[in-house]
Amino acid sequence: MNAAGMIVLSDNMFPFHMDDGMAQLRFSLAPSQGTRQGSSRRFVVARGTEIAALSPPSPRLAAPPNSYTIGKENLAAESRSRRIRMGLGPLPADEWDDRARESLASLVAPEHRHPDGAGNALATMVRHPDLAAAYLPFGVHLLERSTLPPRMRELVTLRVAHNTGCAYEWAHHVHMGAQVGITDEDIVALRRGAAHDEFDRALIAAVDELQQYWGLSPATWEALGERLDDQQRMDLIFTVGGYTTFAMGLNSFGVRPEQQAVDAAH
């Protein structure tokens, strides 16, 4: 068997070539600050072949829910804490027009297309009706039409919310997760990047891998395949991407969870 491709080591890409199942990998790694000699990371390339690479990238440190870090300053996401004001927030009721209301049509019933009914996140999104109208149908797919089982979807979304420090996503999806079987014990473990169930650990690892390396390794893809088919694994990847994107916006705009969502999450 002959195969060729690229492999990522220490945030760099290197070519590899396989001949009859034997990997031929040529690379050089310059010394870098913080490198730990003797540590290794395994990459499954093909047919179970493993390559041990020295000096892997440092593990990504996830911010705790309800906060994120800019430089050395930790910015709490709850209303009682200091925040950087971005000048964005829910569009005031007197500025809602037909275009703003129509931009929510894919997700919100007509009687709820106003600031109080839409919630803080969507009421902020309608400041850009074209963006809202384009993005929200994708969110509807992730939330309502995805092939990913609901509990897995919520576990993945909560890990995204934790890693991105998105207080809004965290508050809403803790409550939604409880409705599909995610327990308080699951939440405590998830914050540590752990889980009691082996496949839950695979899901959490997949989120972390996507957010750190921007792709799944062949080994992780295969591990997910023990319970998920191709469409479900595709939906998992786009769930991570979709909620990561949404978290970027919510964190940047300073959107806070509604008090009722915070109360429900606790």
d(CA 9, CA 6): 10
d(CA 41, CA 6): 16
Helices H / strands E in the chain, number of each: 10, 7
d(CA 262, CA 257): 7
d(CA 53, CA 168): 38
d(CA 86, CA 146): 33
Tell me, what's the pLDDT at 165?
Answer: 96
Q: Which residues of 172-195 are buried (b: 16+ CB within 10 A; e: fewer)?
A: bbbbbbbeeebeeebbebbeebeb
* Residue spans in the chain of domains classed CATH 1.20.1290.10: 59-266
Question: 40-44 and 50-54: which strand pairing?
Answer: antiparallel
Q: At what angle do helices 115-125 and 230-253 cross, to 10 degrees?
A: 90
Mean pLDDT by runs of 10 across the 266 residues of the chain is 43 40 36 37 35 32 38 34 60 95 94 92 96 97 97 98 96 96 96 96 98 96 98 98 97 92 79
Tell me, what's the pLDDT at 115?
Answer: 87
d(CA 257, CA 168): 4
Tell me, what's the pLDDT at 259?
Answer: 87
Q: Which residue has the tokens 């996503």?
A: 169
Region at 99 (left for phi over 0; alpha for psi -120 to 50; beta for the rest): alpha
Tell me, what's the pLDDT at 238?
Answer: 98
Three-state SS for 192?
A: coil
CATH architecture, domain 59-266: Up-down Bundle (1.20)
Q: Which residue has the tokens 């909620």?
A: 243
d(CA 139, CA 243): 8
Alpha-carbon Rg for the chain, nearest whole angstrom, is: 21
Question: 73-76 and 67-70: which strand pairing?
Answer: antiparallel
